[in-house]
Amino acid sequence: MENILSVPDHELNPLDIQLAKTISDTLEEHYPGWGWQVNVNSEKSGGVVNVLNGVLNDNPWVNKNYGYVLHLSNIYSHKDTVKKAVMIGGELLERANMPRSRWQGQEPTTMEIH
């Protein structure tokens, strides 16, 4: 994780930052080069993790909010966090018919929306 960005009126929580780093590092390890963007917000009831793929979202025909939302109540341990991060990254890539591997400059031509 190279940059930590703050959203206006959102207090940075050290636990949120650590969880975002764990997920971001896991995604980059399994699917390098895709420009993963992870946001964790535990301030509201329950809390969520938002995962975006920077390469897919830079494509002009892809909705800039295309990504995956994981509710914090569905994360049970560090091992579970890593497992879910790998699943989320793979699912986002598969929806765009992209390989579950390093990004090598290819652009999506179709996108499945669930």
pLDDT in tens, 55-104: 887 766 566 667 899 999 899 999 999 999 999 999 999 988 899 999 99
Cα–Cα dist 106/3, whole Å: 24
Q: How much is the CA Rg of the chain, to the nearest whole Å?
A: 14
Look at residue 5 in the predicted model and tell me its pLDDT: 62
**What pTM value is reported for the model?**
0.84
Neighbours of 103 (CB within 10 A): 17
Check: CB of residue 98 under 8 Å from CB of residue 88: no
Instruction: Give all strands of the β-sheet with 48-53 in edge-to-edge order.
Output: 36-41, 48-53, 67-71
Look at residue 106 in the predicted model and tell me its pLDDT: 84
Check: CB of residue 42 under 8 Å from CB of residue 56: no
